[in-house]
Amino acid sequence: QAIADAKVSQKSVYYEHTNYIRNKYFCIDADQVVVVINDEKYNDFNGYCQGLHFLESNRKKRVSIDDVKIDDLNCVKSIHVTQSYIEK
């Protein structure tokens, strides 16, 4: 949620959180980790995080992360995210 909540200008917040997730949970390159959004859309981790970060600039709505499920705590290869949009 911190990545989604960070303002576009807060690049250090974005990198701090994405690097933490990569270093703590991934055993493969981040561009190989699949993110499934609402069981409909597929993206790689880097693309998903960039989308979250830049969607914050939308003045009318914000992404809310409702649930996250991972396939394996020791070596994450896929992430299932349930998210919604809330009005600002």
Given a cut of 70, is residue 57 above it in pLDDT? no
Nearest to 18 by CA among 42, 10, 74, 73: 10
Q: State both tokens at 78.
A: 């896929």
Q: What is the pLDDT of residue 56?
A: 55
Q: How far apart are CA 79 and CA 60, in angstroms?
A: 27
What is the distance between the terminal CA atoms of the chain, rounded to a whole angstrom?
A: 15
pLDDT bin (cut points 50, 70, 90) of residue 6 is confident
Q: Domain map of the chain by residue range?
A: 2-87
Nearest to 82 by CA among 63, 60, 62: 63
pLDDT digits (tens, 9 = 90+) for 58-87: 667 788 899 999 988 788 999 999 999 887
Strands 78-87, 61-70: parallel, antiparallel or unpaired by DSSP?
A: antiparallel
